[in-house]
Amino acid sequence: MKTLRKLLRVGAVECTAKPFFKRFLAVWVVGAAMVFGVPTSRADDNWDFAVAPYLWSTGVDGDLTLGPVARDIDVDFSDFVDALDKGALVHVEAHKNRHGLFGDLVFMSLEPDVDFSPVGGDTDADIDTVILETGYLYKFPSKKGFYGIEVGVRYWDLELSLKPALLPDIKRSTDWLDGFIGYHIKRGLNDRWSFVGRGNIGAGVSDGSDSTWSLQGTFLRELNNGNSLAIGLKSLSIDFDDTIRNAPFEVDINFQGLVIGYVFD
């Protein structure tokens, strides 16, 4: 029953947007509206777009430092449902000839059941993450699909809470913007199946992360109604450090796990 309640709460977003996030989200929404809302006069000029809500059964592996508390964290992706408190994930794309635009929104609130033991005794951890990504893709057509170069930005809003048994609770939050560049490929395998692969690397814009990278491979199965089922693996890594309230805030973690989605095409 506990697991069922958590699954039913997927999609409920209850986070307070920061001013920077509000501005970034406004630009993202207005840009998408301009792309999808502009009428075209010729069939060749039409944008083809797709919307894909999805689940990301992600594990979390890495190091966290909040003030005096520092420790490894390791949550296996098989424990994702129990760790998930709430979440919402959606991917959008638009393509016209050699040009493509894409956006991706991830909101997850994780409450891992596992404990770890830094200075201060056994410690529970809560991780609230908003990741908003948008970018441009230039495509080179191939016999069975395309390959291309993508550039974009990825906005992070991260809130970490540690509750040591022998120390006061520690809660810190911050947001930043990273730029990235990468490779994108789509290849048809047969009449029904295709493969999409992405990989990119980047770093912070101004006060962003020291480094970040992402890798994803997805198989698409086209259905009779023209939509598709998607299944694959996604990995996203971040190395970020800052000083908040005169205390270190360091995050070096990797999100990795199974992706399952439905593509409205």
pLDDT at 243: 81
pLDDT over 90, % of the chain: 50
Could you tell me the sign of the dihedral formed by the alpha carbons of 15, 19, 24, 26, in that order?
Answer: positive
Name residue 24's amino acid.
F
Half-sphere exposure in the Cβ direction for 218 (13 Å, CA): 27
Give 171 or 9, the one with higher predicted confidence.
171
3-state SS record for 186-197? EEECCCCEEEEE
For Cα atoms 207, 208, 210, give the angle at the middle one, nearest 5 degrees. 110
pLDDT at 128: 86
pLDDT over 70, % of the chain: 71
Give the domain extent around 64: 2-41+48-263
Domain count of the chain? 1
pLDDT at 170: 72
The pTM for the full model equals 0.78
On the question of pLDDT at 37 being above 70, the answer is no
Name the pLDDT band for 10 (thresholds 50, 70, 90): very low
pLDDT at 158: 87
**Average pLDDT score over the chain:** 80
**Residue 53 near residue 192 (C-beta atoms within 8 A):** no
The CATH number for 102's domain is 2.40.128.100
Report which listed range, 45-49, 103-107, 109-113, is most confident. 103-107
Phi, psi values for residue 243, rounded to 5° = -120, 120
